[in-house]
Structure 1
Amino acid sequence: MFAERHTIQLPAAKAPVIHIEEKKTVEPVSVAQQWLSKLGTILKNNDVAALPTVMHQDSWWRDMLAVSWDIRTLHGLDKLSLYFSDNLAHTGMHNLKLRTTGKFAPNLSSPVEGLEWVESMFDFETKVGRGSGMLRLCQGSDGAWKGYMIYTALQELKGYEENAGLRRPHGGNNSLEGGAITGNWLERRERQKEFLDDEPTVLIIGAGQSGLNTAARLQAMGTSCLLVDRNPRVGDNWRFRYRTLVTHDPVQYTHMAFLKFPTNWPLFTPKDKLGDWFESYASLMELNVWTSSTITSAVYSDEKKNWTVDIKRGDGSVRSLHPNHVIFATGHAGEAKIPTFPGQSDFKGTVYHGSQHQDASITGAAAGKKVVVVGTGNSGHDIAQNYYENGASVTMIQRRGTYVISAATGLFMLHEGMYDETGPPTEDADIAGQSLPIPAQFALNVGLTEKIKQAEKENIEGLIKAGFKLDFGEDKSGIYRKYITRGGGYYIDVGCSKLIIDGKIGIKQSPDGISHFESNALVLADGTKMDADVVVLATGFDNMRTSVRKILGDTVADRCKDVWDLDEEGEVNAMWRPSGHPGFWFMGGSLALCRTYSRFVAMQIVAQEKGISR
C-alpha cells in the first residue's frame, strides 16, 4: 500500500512558485502553441537534455502506450528524462497539433487556490500510431510557461485502425472474400461463431461489460476473438443478481464502445434491461460468444508463446483451442470473501454472502423476520433496503466508516459538464477524464468532495445523528480513491440512507467485528447479542487473482501480479496492462472504465501480434 505516497497537495510542495499575470494579458492559445512547438522540436531532435526548458522540475507526465508499451506515470524531471531516454528514439512522436476549438481548446483555469494553468487538448503521431493528450502549463518564477501535468495516450495503430466511421466495412456481397458463392453474411457468421475454419487469436473469459467492450475493439482492429461465458445467455451476469439492482452510474457515463445508449434510455438502468442490452450488443457487434461454457484446462507454452485451452460446451463436448492471448474478464473482483465464525453451524437461521442475495420476497417470508446485514457498502445497503421493504426488521453492522454520496445530487456533480447532456463527445471526455495522474485526481477531488458534502449536508447530518459512521477517505477525496484502491467502502445512496435516518433500519457499530453465533443470535466482539433469523454477510470480494487461481490453476495465478490498488508510480496494478504472465490480461471495472481502457488492452495485443511493440 502506498497511501501516503499518493496523497499529494496541489500546488505540490516542490512545485515552482507560480506568478500569474493579469488574466487579460494571458493568451492561452499563444502560450499553448509556443510550448507545444518547443516540445515538438525536442522530440524531433531526440534532445532529452532540453526537457528542462519545457518541463518544471516537479512535473508529472502520464503516458498510455504513446512513449512505451505500458501505462505509466512519471513524477519529477529526473524520472521523466530517464523515461524519454529509454524510449524516445523508437517512439518518434511528431506532428503535434493543438486543439483550437471545442471544450478542450486552450484556456486559463484555476483548479485549486494557488494553482493556475493553461490547459488544452492536443493530437500527435508516433511511428506506429496516432494519439491525443492534454497539456497543463504553469508559469514559473522566471515567467516561462512550462509543463506541469502532461498526458499522452495512443488512440489507434497505423494500418490497424478500428473499422469505424469513415473506415466502416463495405458490407455488400461483392466485398465478401471469395464472393457470395462461398457463403452470404449469415452463413459465414455461423461458421465464424463456431471457429470451424480457424482459431481465435484471443480468448476472453467472461462476456460482461469488460469482455464485450474488448472483443468489439479487437474485432474492429481485425483480430479474431472468442468470448466464453458460463451463463446460458449473454447478460446473465446482471440478470442473475438481486432483483432490485439498477446501475449506480448515469447513462451518459456508461456508453459502450461504438454503440451509445439511445437518447430515451433511463438515467439508471435496471439490471435485466442492461442484460438485454449486453445480449443485443453482442449480436450487433457480431461478437463470437460461447455461452454455457467453462474452462476445464489452460496451459501456456513459453516456447510457442500460445495457450492450450480446453473448453467444455453446453452440450457436453470439449473443444481445445490455441489462442495467443487470454483476457480474464470475469468482473471487477475475485472470489467472495465469506468469513466463518465460531458457533455458526449451530445457528438455526439463514446465513449467506451478499453475492448470493436474490430478493427478500423469495428468501423465505421476510415479514417479521429479524435480519442482520454485516457490511455497509453498496450491496449491504441495497440488501438492507430490500429486506425492510419486504417487512423485515433490519439492522446493519458497521465496522468502519463508509463514504456516502447521493445518486440524486452528488453523483451528478461528479460528472457535471463532462458526462451529461451538455458534455463534449464521449471520446474527448474519456481522454480528458483520464488525463491527470491518479494522485492528482485524488487531490483535485478533495475540493469537489467538500462541495458535494455541503450540497448533501442534510443527509450527512441525519446519518451522523442516526449513529452511522461516515468516512470521506483518508485524504477526504471521496469515492474515486475508494473505488480504484479498494473496490468498495462507499455507498451510492438510492434510498437506504433515508431509512437509516428515520430509524427504520438500525445501525450498530462494531469496530472489532463479530465474536460468534448462538442458536438464535449473532454476538458482536463487545458481547452485544443481536437476535437474528437471517444474517447476510455483505463482506466484499477478494483480489481478481483468486478467481484466476480457481479457474485456471496455481501455475497461471502464481505468475500474475495482484490486481487493483496502486503501484509505486500511482497506476493501477496489473489491470489493463501487462499482468506479469505473458499473453494474459486482466480486464475489469465499471462500464465507463471498460469502454475507455478496452482501447488500450486491444492496442497492446494487436501491437504484439503485428510485431510493432518491442
Structure 2
Amino acid sequence: MFAERHTIKLPRFPAAPALELAQHKQAPSTPFEIAQQWITKLESVLKSKDASKLSTVLHHDSWWRDMLALSWDIRTIHGLDKVAAYFSENWTPNNLSNLKIRETGKFAPHTESPIEGLEWLESMFDFETSVGNGSGMLRLVQGSDGIWKGHMIYTALKELKGFEEGEGYRRPHGGAEKLPGGFAKGNWFERRQRQVEFLDEEPAVLIIGAGQSGLNLGARLQAMGTTSLIIDRNKRIGDNWRNRYRTLVTHDPVQYTHMAYMPFPSNWPLFTPKDKLGDWFESYASMMELNVWTSSTVSSTTYDDSTRTWTVEVLRGDGSTRTLHPHHVVLCTGHAGEALIPSFPGQENFKGQAYHASFHKDAAETGDAKGKKVVVIGTGNSGHDISQNYYENGASVTMLQRRGTYVISAAKGLFMLHEGMYDEGGPPTEDADIAGQSLPIPVQFALNVDLTKKIAEVEKANVEGLTKAGFKLDFGDDGSGIYRKYVTRGGGYYIDIGASQLIIDGKIAVKQSPGGISHFEQDGIVLADGTKMEADVVVLATGYDNMRTTCRKVMGDAVADRCKDVWDLDEEGEVNVMWRPSGHPGFWFMGGSLALCRIYSRFLALQIKAVEEGLAK
C-alpha cells in the first residue's frame, strides 16, 4: 500500500510551440519577466483572500509544499482544490506578502527539463508573513495556450520578526560593557560558568542527546534567544561517534554535511573519520557556547498539561540530581539510536560470539580474527563495513541477505546525487538547502527514477559484478533509489567504500536466505530452509528500532503513549513526527543525517520559539 500511495507519474508539459507563443504578443518573453508577472499575480490573489482565484495562477495538478509559512507544521498539499482549502484555513495569521523574485545567482529565473517531456521555469523567491520572513521556490509550467501556471510551489519560514537569528549584521557585540550589568555581573568566562550550570534561570528547552541533532538544535535556539540545556550520557561531547566501530567514516561528502553557522574548513576531507567528527562536535559546542552536561541522564519526567511545563529529574555524573522545569523536551538520541536486536531459539547455546552491529568496534578486538568463520546478518551500511573489517583482519566472511539492497558507489554515484548543488562549485549552502527541500517528497521519488538509472549505467561494472556474485540488488520502489529507502525505511542501502569489490572478487561470500534464521546451534546457525552455516562469530546488522521506543525508555509510558511513530511518510508524503509535533505537547523528536539536522533544526527551533512567544499553541 505504501509503495502505491507515494508512487506517482508526473504529467508532461513540453514547451509551447513558438508559433503559438507569437500569438500572445503581450506575453513576457524572458524567464525573469515570466516569473515576475506570475508572482505579481499570485500576490494579488493572496491579498484578495479569495481561494477560488488560485485557479488563475495554479495548475489543477499543482503541489504546494509548506514549512511553517502558512501553518505551524510541515505540509505537502496536492491538487488545486486541496491547496485552495489549505489557504482558506490559513489566511491568518501567516499571510504571504512582499514576494520578491531572486534576480541573480543559480536560482534566478531559468528553465529546466528535469525529465524528458517536462519543462518548467523555476526561480527562488523571498517573502514576508505577518510573523516572519521566508524563502521559497516556484516551478511554473506552460499550457498549450501559452499561459504559465504554478505546478510546484515551496514556501519555508526562515526567521521570526523580532527574534531573527543573531548572525551576520545582527551578530552580538561581544563586549562585556554591552551585556546587562556590565563587568559587575562578570566577564564572558564568568558568565559562561553560570550559564552552563543554569544558576540564574531555568532552561526553556531540555535537549536529550549531544550528537548532530542536539547540537544543531541548541545552536539554532540560542541564535533565536531561547535558552536550552543539552544533556548526554557519554563522558565527552562527540563520543556518540567516537564509540562506534573503528573504521567508520561519514558516508556523505563534506559539502553536504556542514552544521548550522559553522561550515567545515575548506581543507576538510571529503569523508570524515568518526573520531575527527567527534572532535569537531566538541569544538562546535564550545565555539557555539552551547550549554552541555555530559555523563548525565534523565531519571524521571512528569508533564503538567495545565501549566504546559515539565518536571525533569536529571542525574549527573557526580551523583547529584537536578530538578528542571523546561517548557519543551526534545529527544535527540538519533533516528538510528536504538538497536533492533532479534533473538533466536538456541542462541544461548552458541559457543561463539554473537552481537549486534551497534556493539562492533574492530575485528581485532574479538581476538585473533584470522581464519575465523564470521556470518554477518544484514547487508546495509553497517553490515558491509563490518564484513570488510573482518575480511581485512583475516576472517572468512559470509554476508546473509534476506532481501535486496540498493548499492551506490561513494566514488561515482554518490556525487551524482549532489552534483551542482552540494559540491565545490555549488551555490551557498543556505540556498542549496532551500532548493534541495523544495520539491514534495513523492515528486522527488518520481524524478529520482531517471537519476537512479543514470547512476546504474555509470556503475554498470559494479552492478553486473554484484549480480554475478549472487548479491541481490534492489533499486527501491519504482526504481527510485536511495532517498526513498532512507526516508521510508531508514536503511536498505549501502554506500560502497570497498566492500562491493570484495564481494565481486569472491573475498566476501554472500548467502541468500529470504526466510532468515531458524535457530542457533552450538557451532553455528541454521537457516529457514534448513541449511547450516558454521560460525565462530555472528554479527546482527539488523538495523534500529523506531525512535518512539527510545522515548518509552527515556521518558516513560505516559509520554510515549501520546506520541506517534517516528519516520516513514504520512498520507501527504511528509516524514512522520520527526521535526514536527509529536502528539505530546511540549515534546519533540529530532534526528537524521548531518545535513537533515542542519536543515530541519531551523524549522524545529522556529516551532518551539513560536510556542514560547505565543504565536503558536
Q: TM-score, normalised by structure 2?
A: 0.98
| Residue 604 (structure 2) aligned to one of 593, 596, 601 | 601
* Unaligned segments of structure 1, at least 5 residues: none
Q: Distance in 2 between matches of 1:232 and 1:73?
A: 41
Q: Distance in 1 between matches of 2:370 and 2:420?
A: 44
Say which SS state the counterpart of residue 33 (structure 2) adopts. Answer: helix
Question: Match of 1:581?
Answer: 584
| Residue 287 (structure 1) aligned to one of 266, 287, 290 | 290
Q: Distance in 1 between matches of 2:93 and 2:120?
A: 31
| Residue 251 (structure 1) aligned to one of 251, 254, 257 | 254
Q: Could you tell me whether the CA contact under 8 Å between 2:477 and 2:484 is conserved in 1?
A: no
Question: Match of 1:516?
Answer: 519
Q: Could you tell me whether the CA contact under 8 Å between 2:15 and 2:119 is conserved in 1?
A: no
Q: Could you tell me whether the CA contact under 8 Å between 1:46 and 1:89 is conserved in 2?
A: no
Assess, with a 3 A threshold, how the Cα gap between structure 1 residues 89 and 45 changes in structure 2: closer, same or farther.
farther
Matches within 5 A, 1:204-283: 204-283=207-286
Question: Within the alignment, does 1:445 sit opposite 2:441 as a pair?
Answer: no
Question: Match of 1:180?
Answer: 183
Say which SS state the counterpart of residue 432 (structure 1) adopts. Answer: helix
Question: Within the alignment, does 1:337 sit opposite 2:319 as a pair?
Answer: no
1:275 partner amino acid: G
Q: Distance in 1 between matches of 2:564 and 2:120?
A: 37
Say which SS state the counterpart of residue 603 (structure 1) adopts. Answer: helix
Question: Within the alignment, does 1:6 sit opposite 2:6 as a pair?
Answer: yes
Question: Within the alignment, does 1:391 sit opposite 2:387 as a pair?
Answer: no
Question: Match of 2:572?
Answer: 569
| Residue 17 (structure 2) aligned to one of 18, 21, 31 | 21
Say which SS state the counterpart of residue 211 (structure 1) adopts. Answer: helix
Question: Match of 2:152?
Answer: 149
Question: Match of 1:321?
Answer: 324
Matches within 5 A, 1:533-572: 533-572=536-575
1:453-477 C-alpha deviation (Å, 9 max, x unpaired): 0000001100000000000001101
Question: Match of 2:415?
Answer: 412
Q: Could you tell me whether the CA contact under 8 Å between 1:375 and 1:396 is conserved in 2?
A: yes
Q: Could you tell me whether the CA contact under 8 Å between 1:513 and 1:525 is conserved in 2?
A: yes
Q: Distance in 1 between matches of 2:337 and 2:576?
A: 14
Q: Distance in 2 between matches of 1:335 and 1:44?
A: 48
Q: Distance in 1 between matches of 2:16 and 2:594?
A: 40
1:266-301 C-alpha deviation (Å, 9 max, x unpaired): 000000000000000000000000000000001111
Q: Could you tell me whether the CA contact under 8 Å between 1:334 and 1:546 is conserved in 2?
A: no
1:104-144 C-alpha deviation (Å, 9 max, x unpaired): 01011111111110100000000000000000001123321
Q: Could you tell me whether the CA contact under 8 Å between 2:93 and 2:131 is conserved in 1?
A: no
Q: Could you tell me whether the CA contact under 8 Å between 2:578 and 2:590 is conserved in 1?
A: yes
| Residue 479 (structure 1) aligned to one of 479, 482, 494 | 482
Q: Could you tell me whether the CA contact under 8 Å between 1:119 and 1:134 is conserved in 2?
A: yes
Q: Could you tell me whether the CA contact under 8 Å between 1:10 and 1:443 is conserved in 2?
A: yes
2:83 partner amino acid: L
1:525-582 C-alpha deviation (Å, 9 max, x unpaired): 1111111000000001110000000111110000001000000000000011111110
Q: Distance in 2 between matches of 1:345 and 1:67?
A: 56
1:403-441 C-alpha deviation (Å, 9 max, x unpaired): 000000000110011000000000000000000000000
Deviation at 1:180? 0.6
1:506-539 C-alpha deviation (Å, 9 max, x unpaired): 0000001111111101111111111100000000
Question: Match of 1:90?
Answer: 93
Say which SS state the counterpart of residue 478 (structure 2) adopts. Answer: coil
Q: Could you tell me whether the CA contact under 8 Å between 1:2 and 1:568 is conserved in 2?
A: no
Q: Distance in 2 between matches of 1:151 and 1:308?
A: 38
Give the % identical residues.
74
Q: TM-score, normalised by structure 1?
A: 0.98
Say which SS state the counterpart of residue 90 (structure 1) adopts. Answer: coil
Q: Could you tell me whether the CA contact under 8 Å between 1:335 and 1:544 is conserved in 2?
A: yes
Q: Distance in 1 between matches of 2:61 and 2:479?
A: 24
1:221-276 C-alpha deviation (Å, 9 max, x unpaired): 00000000000000000000000000000000000000000000000000000000
Question: Match of 2:113?
Answer: 110
Say which SS state the counterpart of residue 119 (structure 1) adopts. Answer: strand
Question: Match of 1:488?
Answer: 491
Deviation at 1:91? 1.7
Say which SS state the counterpart of residue 210 (structure 2) adopts. Answer: coil
Say which SS state the counterpart of residue 295 (structure 1) adopts. Answer: strand
Q: Distance in 1 between matches of 2:144 and 2:3?
A: 31
Q: Could you tell me whether the CA contact under 8 Å between 2:441 and 2:573 is conserved in 1?
A: yes
| Residue 165 (structure 1) aligned to one of 163, 168, 172 | 168
Say which SS state the counterpart of residue 419 (structure 1) adopts. Answer: coil
Question: Match of 2:194?
Answer: 191
1:78-103 C-alpha deviation (Å, 9 max, x unpaired): 11011000001322210000001100
| Residue 78 (structure 2) aligned to one of 52, 75, 78 | 75
Q: Distance in 1 between matches of 2:498 and 2:185?
A: 58
Q: Could you tell me whether the CA contact under 8 Å between 2:16 and 2:144 is conserved in 1?
A: no
Q: Could you tell me whether the CA contact under 8 Å between 2:339 and 2:544 is conserved in 1?
A: yes
Q: Could you tell me whether the CA contact under 8 Å between 2:96 and 2:130 is conserved in 1?
A: yes
Q: Distance in 2 between matches of 1:138 and 1:577?
A: 31
Question: Within the alignment, does 1:62 sit opposite 2:58 as a pair?
Answer: no
Question: Within the alignment, does 1:429 sit opposite 2:425 as a pair?
Answer: no
Deviation at 1:349? 0.4
Q: Could you tell me whether the CA contact under 8 Å between 1:388 and 1:394 is conserved in 2?
A: yes
Question: Match of 1:526?
Answer: 529
Q: Distance in 1 between matches of 2:81 and 2:469?
A: 51
